[in-house]
Structure 1
């Protein structure tokens, strides 16, 4: 099926990209990086995912490309900021705040994490202080609102925060884990997949439940093939 083939292509491309990053194989790793988000976007489109998710992935793709070009770091950050606006807007519209009201410790914990990150990063960021502080606030908002939609989507938001935090540590000349570039890309790809698949699966489940209610109300049974979202 189309969606399955595209998903396989996404994972194959991701694995090849991570292998090239680990090997330091420039510029091939830049070429494969530019293919990862379009493939994930194609999978979301094949699964009829929501437009804000498609927009977030396409903006992320633009950010990926911009970050590979010298002098385009701020442009890349702006594109990723747009992606986070799409994520946050979608999560809030879909009821994230209701879930967070039942678990107030989540936004409080993330607020503490954001403040601590800004405090530690600030001295080493130079002219990037305000852009990074503003971007990290949007990034944290994505993590917080994602957590309002359950474990899978919440894990995606947390991994996105981790991935970009490692980039910020590099900018601020702070200690980094071994093979930081590989860790950044691995957590980033996992984050985007968890966010995308979590949103798509949640929407599909809701649509199926709505269909079941309509079928029951009209006294009809659902044909088994109608529940196949592949």
Structure 2
């Protein structure tokens, strides 16, 4: 059975469409409610597919990030939650050999670091002083996720790049580089964010599944995934 043919992913797709429609309609607080459904539906799919626990944790942290960003006065808390999610993503990809690949393709982290610097230079003067250091740290984490993801899997890398684009657009809106009140701007942010979560999650889970299938089931090997016994095993 194709792992993408899951009711959890179908529900995720429906939630994305409904949420984007509500964003365009500027229908509050319903758009905030549907936004906070996205990550949990992917967590349910990861568990169903016996995917990596670290991925599930990252998605739960994204949920808290989405929630905190919808509450006045908790913007830094939301950023911190997303930062912790990216630490999980980077840790996962490093464990899958990302650093070895990046040593041979140094242009990837260099290009992403340059992109992060250009983004920071663009928004810097428009950021409140108290946001500048957190934004620098977060931008470096976004670039690290993109670099390590590209080193391991192209689809995951594209997802990480979309995450970088989405959050970069948020930074540009906060710094008044693009209109913050624009419903279309919010639509693009959420469209790219939703695609980022989908691509990162499905790429990681399916790559892990292929690795397990190629190596066979080893009950003695430590794994971050929920092990699943072969059919007929007692």
Same fold (TM over 0.5): yes
- Report the Cα distance in structure 1 between the residues aligned to 2:183 and 2:69, rounded to whole angstroms: 21
| Equivalent in the alignment of 1:223 | none
1:162 paired to 2:170 = no
Greater relative CO (CA pairs within 8 A, separation 6+) = 2
Whether the 8 Å contact between 2:23 and 2:183 is mirrored in structure 1 is no
Q: Distance in 1 between matches of 2:183 and 2:30?
A: 21
* CA deviation after TM superposition for structure 1 residue 30, in Å: 0.8
Shift of 1:150: 2.3
Residue of structure 2 in register with 1:187 after alignment: 192
The corresponding residue for 2:204 is 199
Aligned mate of 1:151, from 149, 154, 163: 154
In 2: Cα distance, 1:103 partner to 1:130 partner: 29
Root mean square deviation, CA, Å: 1.9
Unaligned 5+ runs, structure 2: 219-229
Instruction: List 4+ stretches of structure 1 deviating above 2 A.
Output: 175-178
Find the aligned partners of 2:167 and 2:56 in 1 and give their Cα distance.
20
Consecutive unaligned residues of structure 1, counting only runs of 5 or more, are: 215-225
* Equivalent position of 2:37 in the other structure: 35
2: CA distance, partners of 1:54 / 1:62: 13
Post-superposition Cα deviations, 1:93-124, rounded to whole Å, max 9, x if no partner, equal 11011222232211111011011111111111
Q: Residue in 1 aligned with 2:144? A: 141
In structure 1, the partner of 2:15 is 13
- Answer whether contact 2:24 2:183 (CA < 8 A) is retained: no
Q: How does 1:1-230 map to 2 (within 5 A)?
A: 4-127=6-129, 128-175=131-178, 179-211=184-216
Please state how far the C-alpha of 1:143 moved relative to its aligned partner: 0.8
Contact 1:100–1:147 under 8 Å retained in 2:
no
Q: TM-score, normalised by structure 1?
A: 0.89
Task: Flag the structure with higher helix content.
Answer: 1
Between Structure 1 and Structure 2, how many residues are aligned? 215
Aligned residue for 1:218? none
TM-score of the superposed pair, with normalisation by structure 2: 0.87
Contact 2:69 2:78 in 1 (8 A): yes
